[in-house]
């Protein structure tokens, strides 16, 4: 897999040297084999160095990488069995959110998440991952069904934002997101939400009100994309890198702020470079948190979720406060 991001140019140069020598195949001399090993060690070290010091904007680029694993990829790699459930029972089946009953290491869960699509045909079918009202209503329906049969819920979030087209507004986009939030706030089963790529705006929050909120190491979570925020504040998207830094969109920033419960380590060079390793780490984290939540009663789960999100945000008041009546 090529190193194709801007900040990966030093890595791409080393990789090209390695590939050039490897083309000789059986004709490689002993000293050339040693040179390849030296370059591979350098590539590994340089990758660790670069990815260990990514800026917020570079994390945004990694989170959006075209080869990053999506929900369907994780389902194939993590689940022993999966039975997809479709439709919102009101309008249609939105392929931007896919989910169903899954078995992970013998444990049955209701697993759902965003799907952006790989090729042009799938991306159009999935609306580039931007969910419509029927997608959020499907998610809410599956959550209610999971509660009915006492099945834990796991959501995988990777969405730039909810769909903005006329049809979405006509079918009640904001209401569908609100209904999803209401369902999650009252859900009597464990809910683990994981941001696996982009966690953008209300589209992400509509699947994100979990008892545990986790993030993959190079994923992002934000109220608006850095480009949108830069356009609003400075009237120019050129300031998106500075905006990303100011908005604290990375997993490390959000863990430090207490908004996220755990940062899940990604393979060297990002999840897009090793899907299997990324799925292994994600699976382990999900099962760990489901085990921790299992002893809690329905009332305790709802209360814990309430207290978690009620505590979001801090403010300080200086001096006396007057209250007008």
User: 60-310: what fold?
Assistant: 2-enoyl-CoA Hydratase; Chain A, domain 1 (3.90.226)
Rounded CA gap, 107 and 278, in Å? 20
* Long-range contact set of residues 8-17: C-beta below 8 Å, sequence gap at least 24: 8/50, 10/46, 10/50, 11/43, 11/46, 11/47, 11/50, 11/269, 14/39, 14/42, 14/43, 14/46, 15/43
Tell me: the pLDDT tens digits for 4-22?
888 989 898 888 888 887 7
Q: How far apart are CA 137 and CA 22, in angstroms?
A: 52
Distance of alpha carbon 36 from alpha carbon 55, whole angstroms = 30
Q: Would the pLDDT of 317 be above 70? A: no
**Position 1 confidence tier, pLDDT thresholds 50, 70, 90:** low
Q: pLDDT tens-digit profile of 131-190? A: 999 999 999 999 999 999 999 999 999 998 898 899 999 999 999 999 999 999 999 999
């Amino acid at each position: 897999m090529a190193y194709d991001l801007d900040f990966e140019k030093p890595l791409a140069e080393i990789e090209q040297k390695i590939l050039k020598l490897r083309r000789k195949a059986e004709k490689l001399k002993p000293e050339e084999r040693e040179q390849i090993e030296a370059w591979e060690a350098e590539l590994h070290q340089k990758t660790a160095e670069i990815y260990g010091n990514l800026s917020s904007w570079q994390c945004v680029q990694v989170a959006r990488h075209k080869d990053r694993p999506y929900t369907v990829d994780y389902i194939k790699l993590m689940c022993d069995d999966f039975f997809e459930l479709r439709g919102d029972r009101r309008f249609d089946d939105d392929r931007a959110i896919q989910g169903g009953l899954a078995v992970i290491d013998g444990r049955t869960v209701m697993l759902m998440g965003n799907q952006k699509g790989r090729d042009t045909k799938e991306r159009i079918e999935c609306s580039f991952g931007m969910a419509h009202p029927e997608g959020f209503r499907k998610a809410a329906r599956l959550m209610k069904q999971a509660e009915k049969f006492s099945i834990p819920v796991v959501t995988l979030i990777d969405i730039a934002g909810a769909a903005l087209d006329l049809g979405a507004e006509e079918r009640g986009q904001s209401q569908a997101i609100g209904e999803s939030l209401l369902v999650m706030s009252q859900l009597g089963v464990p809910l683990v939400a994981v941001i696996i790529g982009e966690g953008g705006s209300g589209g992400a929050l509509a699947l994100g009100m979990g008892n545990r909120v986790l993030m993959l190491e190079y994923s992002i979570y934000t109220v608006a994309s850095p480009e949108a925020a830069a356009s609003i504040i400075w009237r120019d998207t050129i300031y998106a890198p500075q905006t990303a830094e100011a908005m604290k969109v990375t997993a490390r920033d959000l863990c430090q702020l207490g908004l996220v419960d755990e940062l899940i380590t990604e393979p060297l060079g990002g999840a897009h470079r090793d899907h299997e390793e990324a799925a292994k780490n994600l699976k382990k984290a999900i099962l760990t948190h489901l085990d921790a939540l299992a002893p809690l009663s329905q009332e305790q789960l709802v209360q814990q979720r309430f207290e978690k999100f009620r505590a979001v945000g801090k403010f300080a008041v200086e001096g006396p406060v007057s209250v007008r009546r």
